[in-house]
Structure 1
């Protein structure tokens, strides 16, 4: 009998129609293994990237996929974020979700990312500096930014004055913790320690069932379409995965990002801006049944997990989210803009899922006092905190 991950069938066959620097707090657990070295190398590469202009973003062949991903994240935030919530944004990148959190009227924001350049860009976006032309007003919540590897550094003691958080978010990045069991456990241990009882952990990540299904359907160890490809190494020639070794199942993922430069690694760690600037982009399979079991060990109960196709088809039926989709333009605006998600982009979306976990325990009746947090309404460059591992 084949061992592996059962495939989740798609619910549709086409796109929907209309500086402070600190050492690790506590004992350092950073290792010299390949995954850690790669995380640092990729973070340095991503830090060196400049922000794209609006024109460059709109010229991307996957612009509608990116808009669809923004819609999925927006729906998750609207479903679970509440006014005055304290938010922990894991792998926050350049702060692309700040506006979403502002619309949810949160009370406090703490962003953590491994890439120094991304954290600095997040600071710029939060402050509304002159180059951020899309900003019309200041954000309505204080914020704090930390440069650290959330999957290596125990943060419970370091952030004890900020915790507990009402909601944690990790978008398109949690699978980077799955290179080793130690990193996967540290990621979930941090979430559990920092989230209040009854608090919510939302996220998006690759759907292992779909990736393994596609691999087994392929003639060789590589598959994809006009905008992406995934390749596995020779050790997976039999296309079988040991149930006893659910960590460190590595593959390479490439995605076209714009018309002049090829190869984007979608997630918050790496963009290949051109071939001579290429960096290997390993990612790791996250068998969801193992993820669910591990989360359970840390007091995090599964609320739901839905493949992106299922998620879109379910929530697009609700008028408020259909209107949000129209405004974001992933399927066109229903009026003058008829451009929409391509079939190949829709196929990429099928590679991902959205999940929601809830911290076990009874929430306290009172709301935490956000004025006690260390957040600021304007973040100077020296306010960014660096925690090394």
Structure 2
């Protein structure tokens, strides 16, 4: 199966998410690499690793059924790479205890789904990142995809503000803690003015889904802080709309071939695709290699950037330029060095102006 092939029967959301997964695997996987995938259940990416010609695969999932699915997907391939599978929860259990002989072996560790569930508590997120650091070789990368909290929280705040504004033209039956578009509906369990660092739950339901899924917002300053405590350096976070634009020449054909209504004939995202992709962001961290100088493009965050009291990032107030939609882009030193929204990258039109 071609790495760029996407089943045409999948929904818009599934096809776009599949594009992002494929794009990241294509960028980070290299021949003969040892790959560890967290929450690998479903076997969605087995053929991608095959196409990338990796050498060895380690799949970790919380459920036996998830492990069975990924094992069956691997067995259905030509088995160009070796594989082993482990049933455990990486945000609760210690990799060192269960897989002691596997530490410091992975060239890349990825988490392409469910990272947000680890942010229910600080302890869960910390354990996950400690396990990632134990698995990675020095110089190895931790990457993946997660919902973009900057996008979601900005939409939520605008909805609540409009609802409580007496001059608002919103209809009376609009629920303030419910975000709706033609593609999805996001519902927060409790209306809050400030962004909790952990445990802020919401329900996400796409038009094609039978039921909603429960997620937690990922507080990105906390994500960066906990990663650094675990020995992982922040490299980049990028909203998927910008990830697509930056790689359009390479990946536009993939979306054009996956069906209609995703991009225009020139490969530009259509509004619905932009809306769905904008809900997600990539994240990239690296375990430093003490014997190798860091890449020039790796940002060196100042101590105050991550030691600062994180609660100062929770402010709910909007500046006048934010309310009007006119937000000046942050100062940038290059794509990887972009200091973006306080809660996550976010598309440009929803980006907070304060830097991380």
Verify same fold: TM over 0.5: yes
| C-alpha spacing 1:125/1:333, structure 2 compared with 1 (3 Å) | farther
Q: Would you say the 8 A contact 2:16–2:273 is kept in 1?
A: no
> 2: distance between equivalents of 1:327 and 1:89?
27
2:286 aligned to which of 354, 358, 382: 358
Aligned to 1:181: 122
2:271 aligned to which of 337, 340, 343: 343
| C-alpha spacing 1:363/1:284, structure 2 compared with 1 (3 Å) | farther
Aligned to 1:300: 232
More displaced stretch, 193-202 vs 222-231: 222-231
CA-to-partner distance for each residue in 1:38-97, whole Å, 9 max, x for gaps?
xxxxxxxxxxxxxxxxxxx7455xx23322222212221221211111100001121111
> 1: distance between equivalents of 2:247 and 2:206?
26
Aligned ranges 1:76-155 → 2 under 5 Å: 76-128=24-76, 137-155=77-95
3-state secondary structure, aligned to 1:161: helix
Matched residues, number: 270
> 2: distance between equivalents of 1:248 and 1:330?
38
Aligned ranges 1:272-283 → 2 under 5 Å: 281-283=213-215
Which structure has more relative contact order (CA 8 Å, sep 6+)? It is 1
| C-alpha spacing 1:248/1:160, structure 2 compared with 1 (3 Å) | same
Aligned ranges 1:217-228 → 2 under 5 Å: 217-218=158-159, 219=163, 220-228=176-184
> 2: distance between equivalents of 1:228 and 1:195?
36
Asked if 1:248 corresponds to 2:199, the answer is yes
Aligned to 2:188: 232
| C-alpha spacing 1:156/1:330, structure 2 compared with 1 (3 Å) | farther
> 1: distance between equivalents of 2:245 and 2:68?
36
1:341 positional shift: 7.3
- Gaps of at least 5 residues in structure 1 are 1-56, 129-136, 266-280, 365-389
CA-to-partner distance for each residue in 1:241-293, whole Å, 9 max, x for gaps?
2xxx51111112112326xxx23x5xxxxxxxxxxxxxxx4211111121111
> 1: distance between equivalents of 2:124 and 2:276?
27
> 1: distance between equivalents of 2:32 and 2:64?
28
3-state secondary structure, aligned to 2:131: helix
> 1: distance between equivalents of 2:27 and 2:290?
20
Aligned to 1:23: none
Q: Would you say the 8 A contact 1:196–1:363 is kept in 2?
A: no
1:180 positional shift: 0.8
> 1: distance between equivalents of 2:92 and 2:79?
30
Aligned to 1:160: 100
More displaced stretch, 73-82 vs 83-92: 73-82
CA-to-partner distance for each residue in 1:325-374, whole Å, 9 max, x for gaps?
44444767999xx9x9763343122111011111112469xxxxxxxxxx
Q: Would you say the 8 A contact 1:67–1:330 is kept in 2?
A: no
Q: Would you say the 8 A contact 2:262–2:273 is kept in 1?
A: no
TM-score norm. by structure 1 comes to 0.64
1:311 aligned to which of 223, 238, 243: 243
